[in-house]
Amino acid sequence: MSALDISRSFARRLCLVAILLTQISLSSFAQKSAADGVPSSASKAVAYPAAKKVEQVDDYHGTKVADPYRWLEDLDTADTKAWVEAQNRLTDAYLAEIPARQKIKERLTKLWNFERYGIPYREGNRYFYTKNDGLQNQSVLYTVASLADTPRVLLDPNKLSTDGTVALAGTAVSRDGKLMAYGLSASGSDWSEWKVRDIETGQDLPDTIKWVKFSGASWTADGRGFFYSRYDEPKAGASQMSGVNEFQKLYYHRLGTPQADDPLIYERKDQKDWGFSGDVTEDGRYLVITVWVGTDAKNRVYYKDLQAADAPVVKLLDDFDAAYNFIDNDGAVFWFTTDQNAPRYKVIAIDTRKPERANWKTVIPEAAETIEGANVVNNLFVVSYLKDAHSQVKIHQLDGKFVREVALPGLGSTSGFSGKRTDKETFYAYSSFTTPFPIYRYDLVTGKSTIFRQPKVDFNPNDYETRQVFFNSKDGTRVPMFITHKKGLKLDGTNPTLLYGYGGFNVSETPYFSVSRLVWMEMGGVFAMANLRGGGEYGKDWHEAGMKLKKQNVFDDFIAAAEWLIANKYTSTPKLAVQGGSNGGLLIGAVITQRPDLFGAAIPAVGVMDMLRFNKFTIGAAWASDYGSPDNPDEFKALYAYSPLHNLKAAKHYPPTMITTADHDDRVWPGHSFKFAAAMQAAQAGSAPVLIRIETKAGHGAGKPTSKIIEEYADIWGFLVRTLNMNAPAS
């Protein structure tokens, strides 16, 4: 899910403390380690690979800022490659000394080996869904005429590479269910190459679409082609990996023609940061163009009449004043969810024949809960809400009248509920921290849910409990947090605890099942997830309270969550680890530089660590909508004040830290983690290790093979078993 999402609508389609009441010295836990099978070398100082410093100083609005590790931004130099190899050797050697690591890997492998399904959807007279037998590196796409029939393999990504690093990046099936456009991504890259498959024969057509990024595909009703968005091919000598992504364009591909002949539907030569998502309405009449700028929730909406020859692109919503997420249309009337004058969203209707705001109609008004999304199925609105960061789903008539609430199994998260206007059924997945994604079929006529597929994982969910608590942040804001652990937990301050957070880009963190977290809890660990400002849990206001000049609120919320866990004796500093990825990696980098005394270990993953140069690589410039820009004097001051790289202090005691990144991460450039690791190793006082784990043939996280995920979490949990002095898992 993950991470720094570029287009909110695209992301939805596809599918991150000062008072210690319990003082326990690190040395006392080091003495205990021998009984837990932890080597005594855990407290020895680490000899880090040499990292040269260069004379690089930049001037930001009169402030001189040194950047001695600038050379680590270039992944292709001999110096960087040698440094990466040396760091991986150091990390591998450190992890190899942890006896518990192999047991953890074995337990992860055993638990991961369960059959799991994706949510079915229907096109034409066929169903489509993914399935993973358990340890397959990539899920396999199946099709079936009837849910009672034997499914047929339509696409198996596992056969496209020997190591499982080629992943399915997206699919789009034509209206008649005869053809499928699909994207493939290699080694975790955001770049994808699209092809077209004949569903009946399983054979690919000659069509190939390249240089696609942050885009799906949408077929015209006649099945003769599809719309997609792409960037220009990088110029000779330019880096495909690190090059800045600018001037996305929207095209139409007609089957049987070369990509070079694809007609350009829309571009903006005057707006390098604008991106476009083209979706054909269910009735086939219109192309709805969502115009996004960076990661901002606000967007524009244009449309084109596909039934009128040479119809122009009409600017329906062009003020960039709010979020407008297209749901469906009833002829010329378009339905949207929007936060325009409704911070927690509402559903509105706009008649494109008289689109003036005075004519807009509110169909479903804003509620106390936050609307996450809506679909029209069986001529009903199926609306997904968030109530204190857990799911609610409600059914409304097309005039907005409430029909019923969908009964869910408990405190968890749902996804799915897609379909057509005439469908009588829809499918959804439900998950909680201890419920592993059962798939339900929902009958929209009777309102009944029945199990379509029930995963079976080798654990007893009744052995665990989840509660939601609320704590006050530094400024008094009330913030929710989920806490999950084995039943019978003693609140004595000695429990190993993992606190996770994200806090940005309007992303909501909700309960979901994770094999890796289950293993953590089996080892006696407590898992806590704080719903920080900057996310979307409480709508627009909650998001904006953690943006730009207010970003420090996010870090204050997370620090307050840690303080609450300690004050309520769930844990103590030597037993408290913190984790986050992408924007959450920035979170972890910021809090350990602001409060290094508070945490016992840190796992920042694929993090944005250099807040003065994030806009220099790949899609980084798009994040200015959430972070602000270093080119703006006031925003520079805020960025510089919390930038993890620039707030490390020499000879400071930082908690044991394992930074993780990947060599093909073209979302958050690996140079962020490289520079932060080199600087933190140089600054570290004492014996607490600062390691960096650099995955090969992997990216920001999407499409990562199961085998690599298991290896990574065996390393992470092994690191925490050693640094937090935990018990190894049972054999």
299 touches 292 (CB < 8 A): yes
107 touches 459 (CB < 8 A): no
First to last CA, the chain: 32
Identify which of 627, 10, 625, 545 has the alpha carbon closest to the alpha carbon of residue 320.
625
Identify which of 518, 689, 714, 539 has the alpha carbon closest to the alpha carbon of residue 602.
689
Dig out the tokens for 680 from the structure: 């933190």
**What per-residue string of b and e applies to 28-56 under the rule 16 or more CB within 10 Å gives b?**
ebbeebeeeebeeebbeebebbebeeeee
669 touches 617 (CB < 8 A): yes
Instruction: Show the 3-state SS of 1-21.
Output: CCCCCCCHHHHHHCCCCCCCC
Known catalytic residue at 582: yes
**What per-residue string of b and e applies to 393-428 under the rule 16 or more CB within 10 Å gives b?**
bbbbebeeeeeeebebeebbbbbbbbbbbeeebbbb
Left, alpha or beta for 93 (phi > 0: left; psi -120 to 50: alpha)?
alpha
Q: Residue 88 belongs to what H/E stretch?
A: helix 78-96
27: number of Cβ within 10 Å? 10
**Residue 660's beta-bridge partner residues?**
605, 693
- Measured CA to CA, the distance from residue 52 to residue 342 in angstroms comes to 53
Specify the 3-state DSSP secondary structure of 554: helix
- Identify the residue whose tokens are 């190993």: 496
Q: Residue 559 belongs to what H/E stretch?
A: helix 552-567
- Measured CA to CA, the distance from residue 582 to residue 507 in angstroms comes to 12
Identify which of 503, 462, 498, 458 has the alpha carbon closest to the alpha carbon of residue 480.
503
- Measured CA to CA, the distance from residue 651 to residue 299 in angstroms comes to 46
**3-class SS shares of the chain: helix, strand, coil, % to 5:** 25, 30, 45
241 touches 664 (CB < 8 A): yes
- DSSP designation for 73: G
- Measured CA to CA, the distance from residue 534 to residue 556 in angstroms comes to 12
Whole-angstrom CA distances from 379 to 328, 336, 384, 433 are 10, 15, 16, 33
**Phi–psi pair at 303, nearest 5 degrees:** -150, 160
- Measured CA to CA, the distance from residue 540 to residue 550 in angstroms comes to 14
Candidates 413, 582, 625, 673; catalytic one: 582
262 touches 254 (CB < 8 A): yes
**Phi–psi pair at 621, nearest 5 degrees:** -60, -25
Q: Active-site residues: which are they?
A: 582, 700
